Amino acid sequence: MILERIGIIHPGAMGISIAASAQNTGYQVYWASAGRSRQTQERAAKFGLRDAITLAQLCETCQLIVCVCPPHAAEEVAQQVVVHGYKGLYLDANAVAPQRAMRIGAMLHEAGALFVDGGIIGGPAWKSGETWLYLSGPQAQVVAQCFAAGPLGTSVIGENIGKASALKMCYAAYTKGTTALLCAILAAAEELQVRQELQQQWTRDDPEFAQQTVQRVRSATAKAWRFVGEMDEIAATLQGAGLPGEFHAGAANIYRRMAHLKDAPTIPTLEEVLAALLQPRDV
Amino acid sequence: MILERIGIIHPGAMGISIAASAQNTGYQVYWASAGRSRQTQERAAKFGLRDAITLAQLCETCQLIVCVCPPHAAEEVAQQVVVHGYKGLYLDANAVAPQRAMRIGAMLHEAGALFVDGGIIGGPAWKSGETWLYLSGPQAQVVAQCFAAGPLGTSVIGENIGKASALKMCYAAYTKGTTALLCAILAAAEELQVRQELQQQWTRDDPEFAQQTVQRVRSATAKAWRFVGEMDEIAATLQGAGLPGEFHAGAANIYRRMAHLKDAPTIPTLEEVLAALLQPRDV
């Protein structure tokens, strides 16, 4: 198999940067425009992605399909690819529990395709040394070569499907878990009328910490809607390893309360976030 | 009422430092040796605490009683003081939920005593500017004056019983909550065979973080047995404020698995802590 054409599902803010690293390495990158937003269409056009129009065409055209989507959609996307009779190489680069990565891998394997497990750590990959695609599985090295020119960094960490996902889950368990915890604590302190005193004590410990917490809480509002599914995946990961899933059940609860803030016209103030956390909507 | 004599229940590592600040300020500090360990006896003798022998005598002798004990014992200690007919000023300086502080306060109030709510942030108070006793309640200022010479710092944050405890809970929710989370994550990474990769990624982000996590996990082993109750109190605090208690239910689970490590002859290695977390005993 000569790998020339790569399909990306979907070219969002992260996906388009992954596509760009593949283009830099000399590959033709395709996407499927059917049913996607105007914003995604403009993004794909801006970076010169080739349009296969439908997922069926994308599956026919490409020898590697890279899936970058919210974790709650990962399994469904893989199912659709199987439905279209795809037999090439499939990379799931989503924030899913290793059990789910293994399930997706088994499904593709059974359908005659090849599967590589992936996990992305960092933001959209526009600068060398800041974003890493971890890969595991027998074909991991083949996938890594598709991005060799960067700026996306790659790291093959073994032959076992699930290992790249496990690493992503453990990493995000701390970063996104502690942000959710800070949201919960600040809201509790607000409700119990000790927020100012808490922020003063934090400042006594570290002059920058209190202000950093405000930034972390506010900047989570745009992405909280898709962190809910990721927290569920992390809870499943910890439980699957024999450890308590409650930390991230709590974190999912917090991000669920913040999910509607993605539609805010400007970044909400801390006070607005705390109000949303203290008056949860029926969801 | 002239406040001359202060009783301390119990002069542990933290309590003895609180006693020392009261002595520095000119007060006579008593304790009750009956039933206490040889280690506590030696500590009390070293710092010149006066021995009231029994709790009954301590209640008769002192005009202020300061309670510093593990959170799970706080309510029982207050009950014993009520049983002995104590009518003076009582400071609960323990890591308890504001609801529990209010319950203890109501019990003492009903028995004719005066109650001040307290929360200690920092380690034993041997250096100025490092340990703070937060106080709330109508008599909070009277208590604060007992430690005016330091090195313990005091801060009166209001008239409402429960406020000092709420602040302590919110503060410890992050420090002890994130340490427990790190324990869970490192154990999961160990079980899923990605610990080395996780530590490498952490080091990419911040050259010191991975090593700091090892120190935090190892140094929690001596105190985990009493953090279990504190995590239960924090979970109750967050739930009482309308926020998820799960983060600290998970943290209590983690510290429960580490509780027996308090008896380790030397500080356990990271590998020993992770083994304990992954093979929980029946407790």
Angle made by CA atoms A68, A72, A77, in degrees to the nearest 5: 55
Chain B, 72-111: which have a CB under 8 Å from a chain A CB?
98
Q: Which residues of B touch A251 (CB under 8 A)?
A: 247
List where CATH 3.40.50.720 sits in chain A.
Answer: 5-160
**Residues β-bridged to residue B91:** B66, B116
Predicted confidence (pLDDT) at residue A1 exceeds the cutoff of 70: no
Q: And the tokens for B185? A: 């994550």
Sign of CA dihedral A241, A247, A248, A249: positive
Q: Does B246 touch chain A (CB under 8 A)?
A: yes
Convert the pLDDT of each residue in B235-273 to its tens digit.
999 999 999 999 999 999 999 999 999 999 999 999 999
The beta-carbon neighbor of A170 closest among B173, B189, B246 is B189
Tokens 């027996």 correspond to B260
The beta-carbon neighbor of A242 closest among B177, B194, B278 is B278
How far is the alpha carbon of A12 from chain B, nearest alpha carbon, in Å? 24
The contacts of residue A259 (CB under 8 Å, 6+ apart) are A224, A225, A228, A283
Categorize the per-residue pLDDT at B283 as very low, low, confident or very high, splitting at 50, 70 and 90: low
Q: Which class is domain B5-160?
A: alpha beta
Hey, are the CB atoms on B166 and A134 less than 8 Å from each other? no
The beta-carbon neighbor of A166 closest among B160, B194, B201 is B194
The contacts of residue B86 (CB under 8 Å, 6+ apart) are B59, B65, B108, B111, B113
Of A153, A118, A110, A167, the closest CA to residue A139 belongs to A118
If 0-12 CB within 10 Å is exposed, 13-18 middle and 19+ buried, where does residue A204 land?
middle
The beta-carbon neighbor of B198 closest among A170, A197, A249 is A170
Kindly state the percentage of chain B with pLDDT values over 70. Answer: 99
Residue-wise DSSP of A174-219 = HHHHHHHHHHHHHHHHHHTT-HHHHHHHHHHH-TTHHHHHHHHHHH
Q: Does B193 touch chain A (CB under 8 A)?
A: yes
How far is the alpha carbon of B42 from chain A, nearest alpha carbon, in Å? 33
Chain A to chain B, count of Cβ pairs less than 8 Å apart? 165
Give the DSSP H or E segment for B118.
Answer: strand B114-121
For the whole model, what pTM was predicted?
0.97
Q: Which residues of B touch A176 (CB under 8 A)?
A: none
Residue range A71-90: mean pLDDT, rounded = 97
List where CATH 1.10.1040.10 sits in chain B.
Answer: 166-278
Q: Does B166 touch chain A (CB under 8 A)?
A: yes
Q: And the tokens for B109? A: 């109030």
Convert the pLDDT of each residue in B160-180 to its tens digit.
999 999 999 999 999 999 999
The beta-carbon neighbor of B247 closest among A163, A241, A247 is A247
Q: Does A174 touch chain B (CB under 8 A)?
A: yes
The CATH superfamily of A166-278 is N-(1-d-carboxylethyl)-l-norvaline Dehydrogenase; domain 2 (1.10.1040.10)
Q: Does A278 touch chain B (CB under 8 A)?
A: yes
**Measured between alpha carbons, how far is B125 from B128 in angstroms, rounded to an integer?**
7
Residue range A142-157: mean pLDDT, rounded = 98
Convert the pLDDT of each residue in A159-205 to its tens digit.
999 999 999 999 999 999 999 999 999 999 999 999 999 999 999 99
Categorize the per-residue pLDDT at B103 as very low, low, confident or very high, splitting at 50, 70 and 90: very high
